[in-house]
Amino acid sequence: MNVSILTLFPELYKPFLKESLIGRAQEKGIFTSEVTDLFSFAAPKKRIDAPTFGPGAGMLIKPDILERAIASQEQKFGRSYKIFFSPHGTPLNQFHARRISQVLQEKQHIMLLPARYEGMDARVEAHYADEIISIGDYVLMGGDLPAMVLLEAVLRYVPGVVGKDESVEKDSFSGPLVDYPEYTEPLKWQGMEVPEIIRSGNHQKISEWREEQALKRTLLGGHFEWFRSFDLNERLVSEAQKIIPPHYLALMHVDVNLKENRVGTSSVTSLDIHDIARSAATYGLKKYFIVTPLEDQQKITQTLLDFWATKGKEYNLHRHRAVQLVDLSISLDETIEKIKNEKLRQPILAMMKPFIKNIFADEGINAALVYDALTVYYLLNPQACKTEDYNIVIETKGELTRGMSIADLRNKPEDKPNTTVVEYIPKSKFIEDFIKILSGGST
């Protein structure tokens, strides 16, 4: 097997390919590598790069230089599997690395083409690239470090490169969990002691502890989407639910913004009880609170809840189970107290701002006023979100929206924007970041 690397800076690779496991693997003849200097394929006194067409700064590596370099390496080692590096490429993960390792072992020749300057002429990627890889949502000075990162990840899966197969198969991201914490001597260091459980000699207890620690690292450390991507067994899901902070929902029918700048109450509807309860059950919420201070609304709601808790079971078992999540409260303060009594700590609050007004006048309430799930993420990472200013009104009779409940009146000159709406978030990071910020409390 051979790895060809075409680069403008071949000296960067000498210590990397010579030392540690990669160097030893080459000494044992497991694979070979050849680093080629792209400058050697430029004509005498000719530049290897040229300005990009159109406005903008930066130089691009010329396509004919790369054409000659690729042809030269394939003449030596045969047809190759060509990998380019760019922020727009496919994000590298463990499955990806394993697959490329299999490609290397099957095709016996992979070629890495790290760029520099502003990159390469796009036609080179279009013509040659078998795949394009990104190692993260950030920009480096060139593709040489990503090429080394890829090699480290890929070569671990080549038999004989890593001494023990167990080190590869049981490491982080080889399954749904990242690795658990490990310890060595001394027993005590900087006031911290090696956990007693892993010194007990009880292998079953040690295994359970390690899984618990790996779960915490995975779920609270930003890898929730990775965890969810696996076909998880019921036991692992159950253990994960013990670690993920419980989530609550409160539907406020008090302190509602009404027309003419009035603040008041609203009626509880059947949809509020049935449909939202089923959604709460679907998404695994701990409890769903319906908040109304009106006695008649409480009586009506309680009558429906009592029905579904008893006779409703015969009509619709799923709705019966979902409605068990519903709890009646007369105010947000009472709701917060119920959660505090259950969890013994102050919950983190995320509120729907258009429907709530002046409910956090007292100090000490940790609250985030938001419009929806998109804006929740805006609080975590505003730089990653796309926002737009709208003029929003709430109405229910259909005069403005033909039955819809929210109207955007930006087209009327007299109506100035009154709301900033988050229009886009990076989906892959939303759940991870949301769980990370909630790991210290409940919402």
Helix (H, G, I), strand (E, B) or coil at 57: coil
**CATH code of the region 248-385+425-438:** 3.40.1280.10
186 classed as catalytic: no
Q: Do domains 2-169 and 248-385+425-438 have the same CATH topology?
A: yes
156 classed as catalytic: yes
Q: Which CATH architecture has domain 2-169?
A: 3-Layer(aba) Sandwich (3.40)
Q: What is the pLDDT along the chain (443 residues), one digit of tens a residue?
A: 999 999 999 999 999 999 999 999 999 999 999 999 999 999 888 888 888 888 777 888 899 999 999 999 999 999 999 999 998 899 999 889 999 999 999 999 999 999 988 888 889 999 999 999 999 988 899 999 999 999 999 999 999 998 776 667 667 777 888 889 999 999 999 999 999 999 999 999 999 999 999 999 998 888 888 888 888 888 998 898 888 888 899 998 888 777 777 888 888 888 888 889 998 888 888 999 999 999 999 999 999 899 988 888 888 888 899 999 999 999 989 999 999 888 767 787 766 544 443 444 444 444 444 445 565 666 667 777 777 777 766 554 545 444 444 555 555 555 677 777 777 766 666 666 666 665 554 44
Angle at 160 between CA 158 and CA 70, to 5 degrees: 40
With b meaning 16 or more CB within 10 Å and e meaning fewer, what string describes 258-274?
A: eeeeeeebbebeeebbb
- Contact criterion met (CB below 8 Å) for 31 and 1: yes
171 classed as catalytic: yes
Element (H, E) at 323: helix 317-323
Element (H, E) at 85: strand 81-91
CA nearest to 182, candidates 172, 194, 193: 194
Query: Any idea where the domains of the chain sit in the sequence?
Result: 2-169, 188-243, 248-385+425-438
334 classed as catalytic: no
* pTM, 2 dp: 0.64
CA nearest to 128, candidates 36, 34, 52, 63: 63
Sheet holding 326-329, edge to edge: 248-252, 287-291, 326-329
Catalytic residue among 24, 34, 37, 87: 87
Catalytic residue among 116, 156, 217, 319: 156
Catalytic residue among 34, 130, 171, 212: 171
